[in-house]
């Protein structure tokens, strides 16, 4: 086989990059160059980019000289070089006992908007049950005309609905209520994922059982050792609730509720009861542990906010983010995720100077309802200190608050429902840390 020769001109990319830097900066570029405005030529001098490719035959690496491994096997795995991209426990977290634990999505190391199944965060109150789908049943009873018991096979015969939605624990970003200690974006905000969920509309099943006119609430109960229970308003159940059996094209993972879970789009993760075994219709909420002592927000006046289901508009820059180090000045990509339980993301603004100036980021399309939305913005880093922030606006016009605005409204006694703007400080050394400003 003849050696591969790049066609003439293919290595011209490096020159193009350098030329670009020499052009008169546009307003946008000047903004992106940072607080100390640089002349165009200086940017070209500090611009680090791809190495210049040689115009001769490329070296042939070892892996091109020998046959590769045969097919990877029955279930594919990521490259062995990606071993650091894993779910992690929050640094310093002490679960009350081993099965009441959580693991976090590595937000800085995933791309686009869909979370791979093996990296979806987990939150278990009493471990992961091993449920035989043949034996599992979902019973719908209480204030209904015909109580029914559904097997997984029964549910697979109803029209399937697939929708992309984020799932976020109400406790996500909870450490932001407290003084900052050095944490990564995974540790701070990793109780967050986004999957294509497939299942049956709960409304379809409620038609089968026939809802009694006086029914207003449902009790959702899990089959795990926590028997997790939450009260769900009937309106939400009829509106867009899903009984889910699959995520991202395959059956639910055991840790996500195999074989069945409830999914309430845009609502706090806790109410999307996993290993769902029962829905009981009634007239009033049941006041379960998870909606009284937990998942309520203690306000400055001493009262507690209850049934605050909808997750507010929020965003976070995932790169550059805490614990990372920028290797060189010049071209960077600021990127992150935005979401809102109220609808779609309308826009995301990014600041590199701690919120004094803002620039609109580019949103990856399609922008979906109550799904993670990827934003990005090119940045020419001149090596001076910066504070990176992102601010999301949703389709209802809700604007993500700063940390101070959120604390002014909610105090500091909350543990849940934090949606303040995250600040990442970039030092001249390139190190990135979470800060409160
Ligand atoms: N049965 C049951 N459902 C549950 C839980 C649980 O412990 N048991 N944890 C809840 C919480 S607090 C959250 S945030 C989400 C987490 O879903 P995930 O583990 O699929 O990410 O599931 C919810 N549903
Ligand atoms: Mo949660």
Ligand 1 pocket member 120 (CB < 6 A):
yes
Instruction: Specify the ligand 1 atom closest to the Cα of 276.
Output: 1
Neighbours of 343 (CB within 10 A): 15
Ligand 1 pocket member 273 (CB < 6 A):
yes
Residue nearest to atom 19 of ligand 1 (CA): 122
Tens of pLDDT, residues 242-263: 999 999 999 999 999 999 999 9
Ligand 1 pocket member 121 (CB < 6 A):
yes
**Looking at residue 48, what is its pLDDT?**
67
The ranges assigned to domains in the chain are 117-304, 314-435
CATH number of the domain located at residue range(s) 314-435 in this protein: 2.60.40.650
Which of 123, 190, 253 to probe ligand 1 with, by most ligand atoms within 8 A of CB? 123
Is the model's pLDDT at 206 over the cut of 60? Answer: yes
Ligand 1 pocket member 309 (CB < 6 A):
no
Ligand 1 pocket member 131 (CB < 6 A):
no
In the reported structure, the alpha carbon of residue 409 is separated from the centroid of ligand 2 by a whole-number distance in angstroms of 22
Judge whether 380 and 36 are in contact, CB under 8 Å: no
**Looking at residue 71, what is its pLDDT?**
86
**Looking at residue 35, what is its pLDDT?**
41
Which of 116, 119, 125 to probe ligand 1 with, by most ligand atoms within 8 A of CB? 125
Over residues 176-185, the mean pLDDT reads: 95
pLDDT band at 44 (very low <50, low <70, confident <90, very high): very low
Whole-angstrom CA distances from 56 to 8, 11, 64, 104 are 10, 10, 18, 46
In the reported structure, the alpha carbon of residue 289 is separated from the centroid of ligand 2 by a whole-number distance in angstroms of 13
**Looking at residue 147, what is its pLDDT?**
98
How far apart CA 248 and CA 225 sit, in angstroms, is 26
Residue 402, both tokens: 């700063």
142 sits in the region (left: phi over 0; alpha: psi -120 to 50; else beta) called left
Instruction: Specify the ligand 1 atom closest to the Cα of 169.
Output: 14
**Looking at residue 91, what is its pLDDT?**
80
Ligand 1 pocket member 407 (CB < 6 A):
no
Q: What is the mean pLDDT of the chain?
A: 90
In the reported structure, the alpha carbon of residue 169 is separated from the centroid of ligand 2 by a whole-number distance in angstroms of 4
Residue nearest to atom 12 of ligand 1 (CA): 270
Over residues 105-122, the mean pLDDT reads: 98
**Looking at residue 20, what is its pLDDT?**
35
Residue 248, both tokens: 């991202």
Residue 188, both tokens: 């701070």
**Looking at residue 98, what is its pLDDT?**
87
* CATH number of 117-304, picked from 3.90.420.10, 1.20.120.1200, 3.30.565.10, 3.40.1390.10: 3.90.420.10
Tens of pLDDT, residues 250-300: 999 999 999 999 999 999 999 999 999 999 999 999 999 999 989 999 999
For 354-414, the DSSP string reads TTSS-EEPEEPSS--TTS-EEEEEEEEE-SS-EEEEEEEEETT--BPPPHHHHHHHH-S--
Strands 242-247 and 192-201: antiparallel
Tens of pLDDT, residues 349-387: 999 999 999 999 999 999 999 999 999 999 999 999 999
Nearest ligand (C-alpha, residue 222): 1
In the reported structure, the alpha carbon of residue 8 is separated from the centroid of ligand 2 by a whole-number distance in angstroms of 56
Ligand 1 pocket member 324 (CB < 6 A):
no
Is the model's pLDDT at 187 over the cut of 90? Answer: yes
Tens of pLDDT, residues 168-180: 999 999 999 999 9
Residue nearest to atom 5 of ligand 1 (CA): 124
In the reported structure, the alpha carbon of residue 126 is separated from the centroid of ligand 1 by a whole-number distance in angstroms of 10
Residue nearest to atom 2 of ligand 1 (CA): 274
Residue nearest to atom 23 of ligand 1 (CA): 270
């Amino acid at each position: 086989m003849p050696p591969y020769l790049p066609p003439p001109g293919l290595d011209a990319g490096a020159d193009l990059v350098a030329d670009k830097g020499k052009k008169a900066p546009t307003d946008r570029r000047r903004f992106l160059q940072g607080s100390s405005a640089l002349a165009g030529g200086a940017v070209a001098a500090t611009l680090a980019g791809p190495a210049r490719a040689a115009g001769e035959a490329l070296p042939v690496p070892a892996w091109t000289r020998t046959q590769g491994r045969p097919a990877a096997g029955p279930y594919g795995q990521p490259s062995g070089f990606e071993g650091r991209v894993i779910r992690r426990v929050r640094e310093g977290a002490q679960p009350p006992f081993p099965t009441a634990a959580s693991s976090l999505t590595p937000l800085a190391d995933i791309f686009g908007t869909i979370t791979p199944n093996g990296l979806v965060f987990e939150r278990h109150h009493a471990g992961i049950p091993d449920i035989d789908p043949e034996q599992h049943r979902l019973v719908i009873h209480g204030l209904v005309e015909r109580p029914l018991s559904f097997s997984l096979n029964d549910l697979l015969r109803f029209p399937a609905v697939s929708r992309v939605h984020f799932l976020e624990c109400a406790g996500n970003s909870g450490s932001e209520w407290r003084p900052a200690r050095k944490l990564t974006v995974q540790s701070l905000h990793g109780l967050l994922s986004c999957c294509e969920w497939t299942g049956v509309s709960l409304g379809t099943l409620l038609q089968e059982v026939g809802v009694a006119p006086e029914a207003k609430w449902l009790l959702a109960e899990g089959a795990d050792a926590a028997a997790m229970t939450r009260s769900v308003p009937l309106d939400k159940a009829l509106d867009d609730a899903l009984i889910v059996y699959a995520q991202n094209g395959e059956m639910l993972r055991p840790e996500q509720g195999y074989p069945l879970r409830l999914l309430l789009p845009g609502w706090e993760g806790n109410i999307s009861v996993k290993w769902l075994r029962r829905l009981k219709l009634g007239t009033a909420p049941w006041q379960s542990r998870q909606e009284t002592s937990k998942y309520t927000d203690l306000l400055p006046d001493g009262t507690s906010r209850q049934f605050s289901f909808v997750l507010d508009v929020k965003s976070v820059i995932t790169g550059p983010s805490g614990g990372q180090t920028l290797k060189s000045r010049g071209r960077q990509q600021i990127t992150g995720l935005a979401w809102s339980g109220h609808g779609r993301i309308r826009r995301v603004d990014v600041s590199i100077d701690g919120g004094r100036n803002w620039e609109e980021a580019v949103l990856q399309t399609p922008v979906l309802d109550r799904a993670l939305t990827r934003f990005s913005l090119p940045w020419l880093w001149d090596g001076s200190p910066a504070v990176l922030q992102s601010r999301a606006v949703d389709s209802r016009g809700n604007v993500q608050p700063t940390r101070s605005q959120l604390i002014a409204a909610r105090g500091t006694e909350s543990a849940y429902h934090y949606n303040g703007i995250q600040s990442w400080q970039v030092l001249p050394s390139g190190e990135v840390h979470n800060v409160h400003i």
